[in-house]
Amino acid sequence: MGYPIMLNVANQSVLVVGGGKVAERKIYGLLEAKAKITVVAPTITTGIEQLVADKKLIWRQKTFSPDDMKEAWIVIAATNNRAVNEAVAKAAKPYQLINIADDPERSNFHVPAVVRRGRLTIAISTGGASPTIAQQIRRRLEELYDDDYGRYIDFLYECRQWILRHVRDEQKRKALFKAIADESFCKRGNWEEEFEQLLENAMKEEIRRKEE
């Protein structure tokens, strides 16, 4: 059973061995997370070519050699050659994070299907049982949690920061966090106005208590 974590890969070196369809898909996910990507492959897809032209990553046009792995924190082997993918697995140091596209057993992490909505991230893994099912579940969740929901999550983030900075009373904080995370609050849709109203009521109470 995998241990799920959210990895901060911003500005970290990632090596992708292979430049085909699978490599391209993983690269898009890595770029979203702002990783510093090097691709080693004799040929690349037109999608990856475009990323090279836009200076989003570095392409070394060559076949893999173990030296390519020196700087990398994360290594993804996605060539169409089993022996090459195996050579990548063999060259990995114990502290490197490694994903072998055709050999989950030799990988020390798997890539889940992902839904992103603002600050919300939902990752789906079937533990190697069926990537196709992971994709199906992603599509269902994408319908359930639409872009509007992402805006709501980002609104909650702003509120939370404000509350943490300005509301001292712990009970009051908790009550506010709970109120804005309520399903009916989300559904009514007047988030800003209702939040202000909630704050006003909370502050009134504070003033009244001070006067007593």
Ligand X SMILES: NC(=O)c1ccc[n+]([C@@H]2O[C@H](COP(=O)([O-])OP(=O)(O)OC[C@H]3O[C@@H](n4cnc5c(N)ncnc54)[C@H](O)[C@@H]3O)[C@@H](O)[C@H]2O)c1
DSSP alpha helix (H) spans, 33-169: 46-53, 82-91, 131-144, 147-166
Interface of this chain with ligand X, residues 27 to 56, rule: CB under 6 A? 40-44
117 binds ligand PQ2 (CB under 6 A): no
Q: Are 121 and 98 in contact (CB under 8 A)?
A: no
Binding residue for ligand X (CB under 6 A) from 15, 98, 101, 134? 101
Using CB under 6 A, which of 8, 50, 61, 132 touches ligand PQ2? 132
Of 33 and 198, CB closest to ligand PQ2: 33
Decide: is 84 part of the binding site for ligand X (CB under 6 A): yes
- DSSP, collapsed to helix, strand or coil, labels residue 17 as strand
Which residues does 28 contact at the CB level (< 8 Å), separation at least 6? none
Smallest gap, in angstroms, from Cβ of residue 133 to ligand X? 13
Select from 60-68, 105-113, 162-170, 182-190 the region that touches ligand PQ2 (CB under 6 A): 105-113
39 vs 37: CA distance, rounded Å: 7
Amino acid code (one letter) for 124: I
Residue found by looking up tokens 């069926």 in the block: 130
Cα(113)–Cα(90) distance, integer angstroms: 26
- Cα separation, 151 vs 191, in Å, equals 10
Among ligand X, ligand PQ2, none, residue 20 binds (CB under 5-8 Å by kind): ligand X
Tokens of 168: 């001292």
Does 103 bind ligand X (CB under 6 A)? Our answer is no
* 89 touches ligand X by CB under 6 A: no
Binding residues (CB under 6 A) for ligand PQ2: these are 25-26, 29, 99, 101-102, 104, 110-113, 125-132, 134-135, 138
Binding residues (CB under 6 A) for ligand X: these are 17-23, 40-44, 63-64, 78-81, 84, 101-102, 131
